[in-house]
Structures are given as structure tokens and as C-alpha cells.
Amino acid sequence: MEEHVSKSFENSMIRTAWNEQEEEWYFSVVDVVGVLTESENPNNYWKVLKNRLKKEGSQLVTNCNQLKMQSSDCKFYKTDCMNTEQLLRLVQSIPSKKAEPFKMWLAQVGRERIEETIDPEQTIDRALETYAKKGYSREWINQRLQAIQVRKELTDEWEQHGIKKGVEYAILTDEITKAWSGMTTRAYKNHKGLKKENLRDNMTTTEIILNMLAETAAKNISQTENPKNFEENQSVARRGGRIAGNARKELEAEIGHSVISEQNAAQINSIVTNLIEDVSKKTPEDK
């Protein structure tokens, strides 16, 4: 299933498509080339660049997808498209003043990743800084960092039992999420209006705590029972999730409403910002 939208960049439209199954954005290559090069004929520019990349042995062109996108005549035609990773690699091959900031940013990210490999503590420091810049409260950030640690302990347990990263991790995560929240990870994201964003980054404090309980329970059960195969790990994941699911239901019965929020990070942060602004507007007598 694909969702087609156009995004504005410096008054130019870039056609994009969201692939829900892959959870990937795809971008029209010709549109991006047109924006970065300001070429009067971006189709021809991309054709020449494509041939050059092929001669250089680049896999970028080989892995390029073709998706039907709407043209200026309102009809849909097959169009060369790339995901975010491919697009960033393409930018490196385009000599353009507009592409230079992207290239500088890529170089900076590469340097930071090397530094984090040498000193992993920098990863935590950068995570703290990033969350703070996005407007999260200190309390939420502390909770989120604890959740990251809980998640790491669970995935370490999975790794010890031969669970493969990628698809198998995703399946077990889905089992846990569905067992405690009543929704698959994808359905949960849809509930919050999310696409590529990290689900945990868009949870309220209560949701994070319940998710941590589910993952901690799954880890503890796994350590006790030592599951031998993937099916047994699935069963452990469901049982761990059900423990948090039961806690959620008891809490909801007490408070009279669901704790599964439709709010995403932008909305949560907006509430916090509004509260701060309201307090700042009060006179000393009001306070």
C-alpha cells in the first residue's frame, strides 16, 4: 500500500510515496535532481548521471525503484524513485551548491559515528541533546533512557538465544506490543498518526512504563525458562506482554479511560510548551 504526497522544498515540489509495508519514504529522483541542479531539463540530467554511475559500477542505479507517480498532466507514470539512504548517496554524486550542505552534514554524521565507536558514551550524550532540542521534558527523557536500557537487556537476551536481528526481532516486538496494548506495532503507529517515526519516542510516560514492564517481564521469563527455538521465544514474548496488558487493564478500570494515547511527540511537546507559557504569563500574585 502506497500513499502519494508532494513535499515543498524551496518553492519546488518533490513527489513522494510512503510504502507502509517497508515503512519507507520514496522520492522522485527527477524532482530532487531538478531542485539541486536547477537544470532546465532534469530528466536529461538524470539520464546522463545515471549512465555515469553505471560506468563507475555504482549499485545506486541498479537498486533504484520505479513507482507510479502523478505527472503534470494528472496521469500516473512509472518514475525512478529512491529511499532516504539511496537519495543521500545520490546527493554525493551531484556537483551543486545546493547539494553542498547535505554533503557537509553527511560528513559530520560520519565523523560522529566514528567518535561514538571510539567512545560509546557520546551516543548517550547526543541522545540527551537531541531529545532536549525536540522539546521533551527532563522527566520524559530520563524515562526514555531507562526504556532504552530495558530494550537493550531484552535484545541481548534474544541474541543469546539465537534470535536474528531484523525480521525476527520485529516479530517478537510485535508480539509484545500486541499483548500489552491490544495493537500491532504498525496499528499502534497508525493510531498515533506516525509513519517512519520511532513509536517509543511518541509514547506518553505511562505508555513507556507499560512497554518497559512488558519487555522486562519477557526478559525475566526468558532467563528463567531458557526458550530453545523461535516459537518458544514467541510464547515468552506474548506472556511478557500480557503481564503489562493486565496492568494496563487494571489501571484503565481505576481511572475510567484508556491509557493508549493518540498523541504523538509533537502534540505531547505542545502541551508541555503551552503549560510553561501559561505559567510564565501569570503575575506574581497568581503564582
- Each residue's pLDDT tens digit, 156-185: 999 999 999 999 999 999 999 999 999 999
Which residues make beta-bridge pairs with 5? 16
Task: Give the closest residue to 183 by CA, choosing from 256, 258, 253.
Answer: 258
What is the pLDDT, as a whole number, of residue 3?
A: 58
Q: Whole-model pTM?
A: 0.66
- Each residue's pLDDT tens digit, 216-234: 999 999 999 999 999 999 9
C-alpha pair distances (Å), 280 with each of 134, 140, 177, 239, 273: 20, 21, 39, 47, 11
Select the highest-mean-pLDDT range: 42-46, 115-119, 230-234: 230-234
Grid cell, residue 82, equals: 529512491
pLDDT higher than threshold 70 for residue 68: yes
Angle, alpha carbons 181-185-190 (nearest 5°)? 95
